[in-house]
């Protein structure tokens, strides 16, 4: 079952500046509360469709790595990637960027594609029992930290 979560924030920076920051996955640790480091796979050094990367995540003493694949990269408009673990696509994450009079309206969204029967495995891996609540919390934090970085 797919569960979509969306969080929106107005940011006082151009859509191009927001896109440049959010699509540079090597900077994800600057704003994400869970993903502390991302590294592009060999042959990739930027946000193009098909580019792949590793996302290194942490929650307390739990650490895990996911593989990301860019599926949409429209400068100044949108950045979307799929997350997999052990070749299993379990979520899609995206950022929609719209111009406003004061800069940009940024919507971070995620589709949780993890079947219920994998809940225990996911909890054991991440230490997170309520993924929806955790995502809402961390997404708000991500947009807050992103705004602080690009508005500076």
The CATH code of the domain that includes 125 is: 3.30.530.20
Q: Which residues of 65-96 are buried (b: 16+ CB within 10 A; e: fewer)?
A: ebbbbbeebeebebbbbbbebeeeebbbbbbb
Give the closest residue to 70 by CA, choosing from 55, 85, 48.
48
Burial (CB < 10 A; 0-12, 13-18, 19+), residue 97, is buried
Domain range for 143: 3-151
pLDDT tens-place string over residues 24-59: 999 999 999 889 999 999 999 999 999 999 999 888
Over residues 61-80, the mean pLDDT reads 95
Ranges of H-type helices in the chain: 15-22, 119-126, 131-151
> Token pair for residue 104?
């940009």
CA 80 – CA 135 distance, rounded (Å):
16
On the question of pLDDT at 124 being above 80, the answer is: no
Q: For the ranges 39-48, 91-100, 105-114, which has the lowest average pLDDT?
A: 105-114
Q: Which residue has the higher pLDDT, 93 or 88?
A: 93
- The total number of structural domains that make up the chain: 1
Q: How far apart are the first and last CA of the chain?
A: 40
The pLDDT, as a whole number, for residue 127 is 66
pTM of this prediction? 0.90
Burial (CB < 10 A; 0-12, 13-18, 19+), residue 130, is exposed
Total Cβ atoms within 10 A of residue 16: 14
């Amino acid at each position: 079952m797919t569960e979509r979560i969306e969080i929106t924030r107005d940011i006082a920076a151009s859509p191009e500046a927001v896109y440049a920051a959010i699509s540079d996955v090597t900077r994800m640790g600057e704003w994400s509360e869970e993903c502390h480091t991302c590294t592009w796979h060999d042959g990739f050094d930027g946000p193009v469709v098909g580019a792949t990367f590793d996302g290194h995540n942490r929650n307390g003493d739990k650490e895990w790595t996911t593989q990301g694949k860019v599926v949409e990269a429209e400068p100044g408009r949108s950045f979307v990637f799929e997350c997999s673990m052990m070749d299993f696509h379990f979520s899609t994450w995206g950022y929609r960027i719209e111009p406003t009079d004061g800069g940009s309206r940024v919507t971070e969204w995620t589709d949780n594609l993890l079947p219920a029967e994998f809940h225990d495995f996911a909890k054991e891996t991440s230490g997170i029992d309520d993924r929806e609540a955790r995502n809402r919390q961390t997404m708000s934090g991500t947009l807050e930290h992103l705004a602080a970085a690009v508005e500076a």
